[in-house]
Amino acid sequence: MDRRSFLKNCALGGGAAAASALAAPAYAQGNRTLTMVTTWGRGLAGVHDSAQYCADAITAMSDGQLTIDLKAAGELVGAFEVFDAVSSGQADLYHGVDYYFMGQHPALSFFSQVPFGMNFQEFNNWYYHDGGAEMADELYGIFGMKSFPAGNTGPQSGGWFSKEINSPEDFQGLRFRMPGQGGQVLGKLGASVQNLPGAEVYQALASGAIDGTEWIGPWADEKAGFQEITKMYYTAGFHEPGPNLNLNINLDIYDDLTAAQKEIISQAARASNLWTMSLFMANNSAALQRLQSGGVQIRHFPDSVWDAFGTAAEEVVQEPMGDEMYARFHDSYMESLRSSAEWISRSEDEFTRQRNRVVGI
């Protein structure tokens, strides 16, 4: 039995019943309707917009040869079931963030986010020009998928808290929502870490099921309404300096596309990558001002907390190094990060510092 046959016959757990309701791609006069599932609840600011933009771009650029039917989280499968649904061929493609699926393979962190890792530009440098794309093909191919970067939120905020954080000890026993390796870092500091899809976070915070949460940044957080529950907001976080959102397509479906259709999907994903990042960056500052006007208290973690984040993050990132693929990807990722960061620190960072000083920003 080959890899794809094996994957298609694997049980999908809780997502099997819902995923089985998905039909195979619809073919009519050379046109196809492909079902896109997502990790995002319908209407979640920025991230659902990103999925919709990408779906619409594929449909428009292909002149309807590929029509993307977008189903938000819970409409066909749950947010945490999309990986299995597409891998098995029960759905055609998904848009989402892949640290939700690190149980499949720890190297998925490199294509979503690493604490104290790459920002948007640094990730693009690695992916498009420094070996990342080839490694993505290797990793996602194991699961019968082709993957493309298709969005980025920019640096994410430290989060919303029910109390002020003055020392690392303040995380002891704190019930906090944070997925991925970032959540593992907080776990090492004693937090009770919750991994919840975005559509469930507001209710968990409002009900007291969690003491705090990170989500994205001022604009998306304001849209989610967290300021209605707590006024303590940390604007800088360690965990997601540039989280990558992926468009992942079932490999059998992808291989059956024409060369032109494959290129359309690739270019639509690239356009979505840039468009999404710009969407968040264009809206965050004004949203933060509105939050402050509404009584939100802006906070920054003290250096002792940042140091604790750093120590714990190093442990978390090193723990899977016994896996050969993870270790190889880690070395490539870090080599590219160091190269990008060295130049950026000497050029853009210095320019930004001097520009802000000279023009009074």
Q: How confident is the model at residue 19 (pLDDT cuts 50, 70, 90)?
A: very low
Mean pLDDT of 187-202: 95
Q: Judge whether 305 and 165 are in contact, CB under 8 Å.
A: yes
Q: How confident is the model at residue 130 (pLDDT cuts 50, 70, 90)?
A: very high
Per-residue pLDDT tens digits for 265-280: 999 999 999 999 999 9
The CA distance from 40 to 51, in Å, is 8
Mean pLDDT of 139-163: 98
Q: How confident is the model at residue 9 (pLDDT cuts 50, 70, 90)?
A: very low
Which stretches within the chain are classed as H helix?
3-9, 16-20, 47-61, 82-88, 120-129, 132-142, 180-188, 201-207, 218-224, 251-255, 259-293, 303-318, 324-346, 348-359
Per-residue pLDDT tens digits for 323-333: 999 999 999 99
Mean pLDDT of 328-346: 97
Answer whether residue 29 shows pLDDT above 90: no
The Cα angle at residue 284 between residues 283 and 287, in degrees rounded to 5:
90
Mean pLDDT of 92-118: 98
The CA distance from 293 to 237, in Å, is 22
Name the residue among 198, 199, 203, 174 with its Cα closest to residue 186.
174
Answering whether pTM is above 0.75, one says yes
Mean pLDDT of 24-41: 78
Q: How confident is the model at residue 112 (pLDDT cuts 50, 70, 90)?
A: very high
DSSP reduced 3-state for 159: strand
Mean pLDDT of 288-314: 98
- Residue 315 has a pLDDT of 98
Report the mean per-residue pLDDT for the chain: 93
Ramachandran class of 144: left when φ > 0, alpha when ψ lies in -120 to 50, beta otherwise: left
Q: Sheet holding 175-177: strands in order across?
A: 192-194, 175-177, 212-213, 159-161, 232-234, 297-299
SS (H, E, C) 207-250: HCCCCEECCCCHHHHHHHCHHHCCCEEECCCCCCCCCEEEEEEE
Mean pLDDT of 151-171: 97
Answer whether residue 226 shows pLDDT above 70: yes
Domains (ranges, CATH) in the chain? 3-147+244-281 (3.40.190.170), 159-241+285-359 (3.40.190.10)
Mean pLDDT of 163-173: 97
Name the residue among 206, 207, 211 with its Cα closest to residue 176.
211
CB atoms within 10 A of CB 360: 6
Half-sphere exposure in the Cβ direction for 56 (13 Å, CA): 8
The CA distance from 161 to 210, in Å, is 10
197: which 2 tokens? Answer: 């899809």
Mean pLDDT of 86-103: 98
- Residue 15 has a pLDDT of 42
Per-residue pLDDT tens digits for 234-257: 999 999 999 999 999 999 999 999
Per-residue pLDDT tens digits for 209-218: 999 999 999 9
High-pLDDT (> 90) share of the chain, %? 92
Name the residue among 245, 250, 55, 266 with its Cα closest to residue 146.
250
Q: Judge whether 210 and 160 are in contact, CB under 8 Å.
A: no
- Residue 204 has a pLDDT of 97
